[in-house]
Amino acid sequence: MAAHSYTTDDPGTRLELFDFAFDHAPIGIALVDLQGRILRANAAFAKLVGIPIEQVIDVHFRDFTHPDDLEADLILFEQVLQGKRDGYTIEKRYIQPLGTIVDVLIHVAAMRDGKGRVVRFISQIEDITRHKEHERQLAERAAQLELALEAVRGGFWQMDIQSGKFETSDRLAQFIGGQTAARLDLERYVSRVNINDGAQADLTPLISGELDQNVAEYRLDTIHGERWMRCDRRLLRDGDGRPVKIVGMAIDFTEERRRIEQLEETARTDVLTGLLNRRGLADEFSALSSADGFVVLALDLDGFKQVNDLYGHGAGDMVLCETAQRIQACVRKGDLVARTGGDEFVVVVAGSRATGMAAAERILEKMRDPVSITGGSAHVRASIGGVWTASKRDIQALINEADMLLYDAKASGKDAMQF
For residue 341, how many other CB atoms are within 10 A of its CB? Answer: 13
Catalytic residue among 103, 185, 343, 403: 343
Cα–Cα separations (whole angstroms), residue 182 to 78, 152, 177, 291: 48, 20, 8, 68
Angle at 315 between CA 311 and CA 319, to 5 degrees: 130
Residue 244 one-letter amino acid: V
DSSP code per residue over 26-66: SSEEEEE-TTSBEEEE-HHHHHHHTS-HHHHTT-BGGGSB-
Strand 381-389 and strand 376-378: pairing? unpaired
Half-sphere exposure of 189 (CA within 13 A, CB side): 28
Rounded CA-CA distance 256/230 in Å is 11
* Alpha-carbon distances of 7 from 2, 3, 14, 155, 276, rounded to whole Å: 16, 13, 8, 66, 95
Rg (Cα) of the chain, in Å, rounded?
37
Q: What DSSP character marks residue 255? A: H
- In one-letter notation, the amino acid at residue 233 is R
Whole-number Å distance between alpha carbons of 219 and 387: 35
Please give the single-letter amino acid code of residue 353. R
**Measuring CA to CA, which residue among 413, 416, 354 is closest to residue 385?**
416
343 as an active site residue: the answer is: yes
Amino acid identity at 90: I
Active site residues: 343
